[in-house]
Amino acid sequence: MTYDYDLFVIGAGSGGLASSKRAASYGAKVAIAEYDLVGGTCVIRGCVPKKLMVYASHFPSLFESAAGYGWHVGNTELDWEKFITSIDKEVRKLSALHINFLERAGVELIPSRASLVDEHTVEVDGRKVTADKILIAVGGKPIKPDIPGMEYGITSNEIFHLKEKPFHIAIIGAGYIGSEFACIMQGLGCQVTQIIRGDTILRGFDQDIRTGIQEGMINHGVRIIKNTVVTSVEKTSQGLELKLSGEYQQPVSADVFLVATGRIPNVEGLGLDKVGIDLVSNSMDGPGYGTMDAIAVNDYSQTSVPNIFAVGDVTERINLTPVAIGEGRAFADHEFGNIKRIFSHENVATAIFTQPEAATVGLSEAEAKDKFGDDKIKIYRTRFRPMFYTLPQQEERTMMKLVVDAQTDKVLGAHMVGDYAAEIIQGVAIAVKMGATKKDFDATVGIHPSAAEEFVTMR
Q: Which residues does residue 10 pair with via DSSP β-bridges, in sequence order?
A: 33, 136
For residue 63, the SS3 value is helix
Burial of 318 (0-12, 13-18, 19+ CB in 10 A): middle
CA dist., res. 451 & res. 181, Å (int)? 26
Q: Which residues does residue 437 pair with via DSSP β-bridges, in sequence order?
A: 410
**Buried/exposed 5-23: b ≥16 CB within 10 Å, e otherwise:** bbbbbbbbbbbbbbbbbbb
CB atoms within 10 A of CB 152: 16
CA dist., res. 384 & res. 400, Å (int)? 9
For residue 11, the SS3 value is coil
From residue 413, how far is each of 12, 89, 368, 403, 420 by CA, in Å?
Answer: 33, 39, 8, 5, 18
CB atoms within 10 A of CB 423: 12
Alpha carbons within 13 A on the beta-carbon side of 193: 23
Active-site residue identified among 58, 120, 334, 448:
448
For 146, residues 6+ apart whose C-beta sits below 8 A from its C-beta are 288, 289, 290
CA dist., res. 165 & res. 84, Å (int)? 10
For residue 66, the SS3 value is helix
DSSP letter for each residue of 352-421: E-SSS-EEEEE--HHHHHHHH-GGGEEEEEEEE--GGGTTTT----EEEEEEEETTT-BEEEEEEESTTH
CA dist., res. 24 & res. 107, Å (int)? 7
Residue 161 annotated to the active site: no
For residue 5, the SS3 value is strand
| Residue 352 contacts residue 216 (beta carbons within 8 Å) | no
Cα separation of the two ends of the chain: 65
Q: How far is CA 312 from the centre of its chain?
A: 12
DSSP letter for each residue of 246-279: ES--S-EEESEEEE-S-EEE--TTS-HHHHT--E
Q: Give me the active site residues, please.
A: 448
